[in-house]
A and B are shown apart, each in its own frame.
Chain A
Amino acid sequence: MSIALLGINHRSAPLSIRERLSISCGEGERPFEELKKIPQIWEVLYLATCNRVEVLVNMEEAGVGVRGLKAFITAHGNLSPGEMEKCLYVYRDEEAVRHLFRVASSLDSMVMGEPQILGQVKDAYHLCVKQKASGVILNKLLHHAFRVAKRVRTETAIANNAVSVSFAAVELAKKIFGALDGKKVLIVGAGEMAELAARHLMDNGVDRMIFTNRTYENAVRLANDFQGLPVEFELLDEKLGEVDIVISSTGSPDCIISGDMVEAALHRRKNRLLFLIDVAVPRDIDPAAGDIDNAYLYNIDDLQGVVDQNTQGRLKEAHKAQSIIDEEVAKFSGWYATLDVVPTIVDLKGKAEEIVRGELEKSHSWMTNMGQDERGNIEILVNSVVNKILHDPVVGLKRESRNGGADPYVAAIKRLFRLK
């Protein structure tokens, strides 16, 4: 019995190979059908996301399983031997467990701390259970992985900070306004970044989007996409007084929103807080607007700065997460190692039970004149004596196996108790 994990991910292989592999392997039960046919593989989990294709197995130790799995991957990925060596990683036992824990905790993700991966691992596991491809080891391992992921999420701040510019904008808006329900957003101009930020703001409860553009048709088009309201560019000044968040991203060479405009708008809106986001280069909003009370101005560099700070914060948290994972890998390995001695323990207990049963049968004749209760009590007594005697050797065996030195003890017990 041996755990192995092999696969490719965004670090080991370019997108083209990952694509080819994941398409060729297929979805749903198809990969399982093939994988279960590989000889000496007892349990198998297949995980495919846009950044990785991985196979986790419990197989015959030192068997031909790994060769079969490699063949599966190279065949589907259409890989040359050289490519395979470069792209494919193979982890055994403790390293495989560690890798799985890292993946589930989003430490191995392209954007570290992103939350989707845990769901993807869970889906893969559910499919594996449905395909009856899981057994004692994978069940235990996967549930342990989910627990580790939860621990990492609650005990470190790895997923707390936005690491993209548009999410950073949403985070800042929440820092300023609290909840975003009922807030209004004005989008000036068009652009990928502005649209992305608008989309995120809407997902976070903003209820009204107003679009303006020098070319009115563009404003109408965007407003249709977001179910917002298009307004003429000439009304920009007036609208500043009505909205709470402004995202500006025009191609204008000069500032289109001046400090005076912001000041006047704040006066009209009775100083309700105003968050200005300038993602245009060159800038759309006069930097002086950032010094006005109750107005907060962030330009694209400021947002990028926030993202950089957050990314650094995540790296620091990743160290904490790593030590949690080390701890959990040790726990799992402890359990896993005891599996080696389980057959011996079962045999030992079986033999003891057999002896007890035999002796009780022999004593049957003189016990007949006893009451039902007394006979029951004698059975309980005998069983508990036997269990007490066996307790220490069983615990000792498990302890030795966790330390990796159970073999001589297993041999001795087999010989002394004449187990098969």
Chain B
Amino acid sequence: MMELIFFRFALAAYLVSTVGYVASLFAGRVRVAKVSMWVLALAFALHTVYIVMQWMGADSIPSSNIYGSLSFVAWGVSGSYLAFQTKTKTQVLGAFVSPVVVVMMIAASVGLIDGPPIPSALRGPLVSFHILLLLTGGALFALACLAGIMYLVQDNLIRGKRVSGFSRLLPSLGDLDRINHLCTVWGFPLLTFGIITGSIWARTVWGSDWQWDPKQVFTAVSWVLYAVVVHQRIAIGWKGRKAALLSIIAFAGLLFAFIGVNTFFVTMHNF
């Protein structure tokens, strides 16, 4: 398993960049954050190599079990963060993104070697599309959620007139709102098509488009919430606090559908 070495190195690099980002946050040094950014880019590159190798080796996408999915979402999150990094000058978001990535990677590493085998129902290009769309969408929504949380913190600090300490480290409200906006607006079509491809597949496997499975229900609830955010943002011109708050709640729903449902409910969609 050559590719596992890349996974481990990627995880180590993510860890180093997280430590660097958090240290830069407490020390208030931009240079440390800049170095951490390059470490994160290195981790992302290693991770990309891992995913490509696994893809070619396994002859199917590397994310058809929960562990592979987590690794893939982590890859998507760090990739889109690095892309945003070139647009906005602020480095601090990294201190919030990289720990999330590390947690996902550690969780993923648990089952990478002896993960459950891929059921035969899950082979085929449509399933691959279903998974890739949903995971990429999820990664974008995760970033939107992080930007939303930071927006609420910064908004609170500015309203409370406490602007000389922690607030100095956070990006401006304008930048955070832009990140939240872009991630939500781009994540939504991915989520939508992800659900559609899933339901088409479900018809061929389970006989109907929709089974009222808890996982499907929670995903649908999140979809409605995201639909509201996107509509309000684009049509009504929502900005700032309300949009941030709603995108956080919607992401909580999505996260629960992705991970929580399997723990608390009996679901036929247990992968």
Which B residues are in CB contact (< 8 Å) with A306? 161, 163-164
CB <8 Å contact, A176 and B172: yes
Give the docked Cα–Cα distance between A302 and B163 (Å): 11
Cα–Cα distance between A50 and B175 once the two chains are bound (Å): 40
Compute how far the CA of A270 lies from the CA of B162 in the bound complex, rounded to whole angstroms: 27
> What is the interface residue range for chain B against chain A?
20 to 34
Determine how close the nearest CB of chain A comes to the CB of B242; give it in whole angstroms. 6
- Whether the Cβ atoms of B173 and A176 lie closer than 8 Å is yes
A146 interface residue, CB < 8 Å from B? no
Residue of A nearest to B161 (CB): A302
- A212-233 interface code vs B (CB 8 A; 1 in, 0 out): 0000000000000000000000
Check if B163 sits within 8 Å of A175, measured CB to CB.
yes
- Whether A177 sits at the interface, judged by CB under 8 Å, is yes
What is the CA–CA distance of A161 and B28 in the complex, to the nearest angstrom? Answer: 13
A310→B241 contact, CB < 8 A: no
Q: Are the CB atoms of A270 and B239 closer together than 8 Å?
A: yes
> How far apart are the CA atoms of A302 and B158 in the complex, in Å?
11
State in angstroms the CA–CA spacing of A310 and B173 once bound together: 20
Chain A interface residue count, Cβ-Cβ cutoff 8 angstroms: 27
Cβ of A167 < 8 Å from any Cβ of B? no
The answer to whether A271 and B174 touch across the interface, beta carbons within 8 angstroms, is no
Question: What residues on A are CB-neighbors of B174 within 8 Å?
Answer: 176-179, 273
Question: Quick one: given A178-B172, A178-B174, A296-B158, are A310 and B239 in contact (CB under 8 Å)?
Answer: no
CA A80 – CA B171 in complex, angstroms?
56
> Which chain A residues (124-178) contact chain B, with CB distance < 8 Å?
154, 157, 160-161, 171-172, 174-178
Within 8 A of B (CB), among A279-313: 290, 293-294, 296, 298, 302, 305-306, 309-310, 313
Q: Are B241 and A294 in contact (CB under 8 A)?
A: yes
> Would you list which residues of chain B between 126 and 174 have a CB under 8 Å from chain A?
154, 158-159, 161-165, 167-168, 171-174
| Subset of 17 A-B contacts with CB under 8 Å | A174-B172, A175-B154, A175-B173, A176-B174, A177-B173, A178-B88, A178-B171, A270-B239, A273-B177, A273-B240, A294-B241, A296-B158, A302-B161, A306-B161, A306-B163, A309-B165, A310-B164
- Beyond the given A174-B172, A175-B172, A309-B164, please list 20 additional residue pairs across the A-B interface where CB-CB is below 8 A: A161-B164, A161-B168, A172-B163, A175-B163, A177-B172, A178-B173, A270-B237, A270-B239, A271-B238, A271-B240, A273-B174, A273-B177, A293-B240, A294-B240, A294-B241, A296-B158, A306-B163, A309-B165, A313-B164, A313-B165
